[in-house]
Structure 1
Amino acid sequence: MDSQITPLIESILFLSEKPLTEKELSIMLNVNIDFIRNSLQQLIDIYASELHGIQIKKVANGYCMCTKSEFGDILKNFFQSENRLSEAAIETLAIIAYNQPVTKIRVDEIRGINSEKSIQTLLERGLIRESGRSDSPGRPILYETTDNFLRYFGLNSIKDLPDIE
């Protein structure tokens, strides 16, 4: 069975709709977590070759298969998404990501315009969520990003966001 673990992990990552953690794979396959780590590293090394257009990448604290970033522009031409975020939604999402947890009022102040529609879109897409209420008057809702946000942008954690210039 040990010789089948690495290809089995590869198959699971290929079929999974979300990144899987080492612990999830360990429990799923009933295998020691160190063995899972070694298998993942083998797969990462194999797919790092220029002969492959995909890679095993750590995102949102788990591992997934995805296309290599250097092919992004070419692939966009073939797979245009009709579900792209609007500029307003991306701007709103960036404000939330860099200021979280943050209220809609603060987002509106930074943008200089009402962000209700953008926030609603981001909530529906699962890129942000309500994270509680502020202690300020009226106790407005606080918003923060989700693991879907990390996956969407290929980040492992919020700390991987580029610095604001």
Structure 2
Amino acid sequence: MEEQQMMAVAEAILFIAGDPVPVRSIAEVLDIDVDTAERLMEKMAEAYASQHRGLQLIRINDAYQLVTRPEYGEYIRRFTGATKEQSLSRACLETLAIIAYNQPVTKADIEQLRGVKCDHAIAVLLEKNLIREVGRLDAPGKPKLYGTTELFLKSFGLSSIDDLPPLKPQQAT
């Protein structure tokens, strides 16, 4: 199968899936190795970007997904009648940042870093599917460990957690 046809098949799979599709799944369907599938998907992503289409191909960890370009969000909201997305409170953003940079992390660790209770912020972030329980700490009480989700990565335009900007060291006051 030629490259253009493989891209068309991958595009159809991504369109039907809706959710991120692991590159290994694309490789299996196309009967190619994962490295070749990876190069194919990157070439496809570049093609979408260079053609300034309404869709873009994004990478999330080791998977790819077709999504609409953020700059067309207002038009999509108008078409669907959806209301503008609600932004997160400062407390939720602080909690989310702590989880993102320290995952897996317990509620107690978050509260120690923030200096305040974070029950509500965690509940909101769980409800919005930006964080999830990733396990339990092997300690008395077996506290829950939290980490970020794929939706977090998509929402903040990250391919993986490694793409988070480096933290700046705090200066003494």
TM range (shorter): 0.7 to 0.9
**Is the 8 Å Cα contact of residues 150 and 158 (structure 1) preserved in structure 2?**
yes
Cα offsets for 1:33-61 (capped at 9, x unmatched):
35534532442232121543432221232
Are 2:32 and 1:32 equivalent residues in the alignment? yes
1:119 aligns with 2:149: no
In structure 2, what is the Cα distance between the partners aligned to 1:140 and 1:10?
Answer: 42
Q: Secondary structure at the match of 1:48?
A: helix
Which of 73, 98, 101 aligns to 2:101? It is 98
Shift in alpha-carbon separation, 1:121–1:51, aligned structure 2, 3 A: closer
Q: Partner residue of 2:151?
A: 148
What runs of 5+ residues in structure 2 fail to find an aligned partner?
A: 78-82, 169-173
- Taking the aligned partners of 1:37 and 1:134, their CA distance within structure 2 comes to 35
User: Could you tell me how far 1:115 is from its partner in structure 2?
Assistant: 0.8
Aligned mates of 2:134, 2:92 — CA distance in 1: 19
Tell me the CA shift for residue 116 of structure 1: 0.5
- Offset at residue 15 of structure 1 (A): 3.5
Distance 1:153 1:15, change over 3 A: farther
Distance 1:15 1:134, change over 3 A: same
Find the aligned partners of 2:164 and 2:39 in 1 and give their Cα distance: 28
Post-superposition, which runs of at least 4 consecutive aligned residues in structure 1 deviate over 6 A?
A: none
Check whether the contact 1:19–1:60 (CA below 8 A) recurs between aligned residues. Answer: no
Q: What stretches of structure 1 of length at least 5 have no aligned partner?
A: none
Partners in 2 of 1:112 and 1:158 — Cα distance?
A: 25
| CA offsets 1:94-140 (integer angstroms, 9 cap, x no match) | 11111112111121222222111111222233322223333555442
Match of 2:73 among 48, 72, 75: 75
Residue 12 of structure 1 pairs with residue 13 of structure 2: yes
The CA distance in 2 between the partners of 1:78 and 1:32, in whole Å, is: 36
Question: In the alignment, residue 31 of structure 2 is paired with which amino acid?
Answer: V
Candidates 123, 137, 140, aligned match of 1:134: 137
**Over the residues paired in the alignment, what is the CA RMSD in angstroms?**
2.7
- Report if the CA contact (8 A) 2:18-2:66 is conserved: no
| Alpha-carbon shift at residue 92 of structure 1 (Å) | 1.0
Find out whether 1:60 has 2:61 as its counterpart.
Answer: yes
Measured in 1, the distance between the counterparts of 2:43 and 2:102 equals: 38
The aligned residue for residue 164 of structure 1 is 167
Please, which moves more after superposition, 155-164 or 143-152?
143-152
Q: Which moved more, 1:149-158 or 1:48-57?
A: 48-57
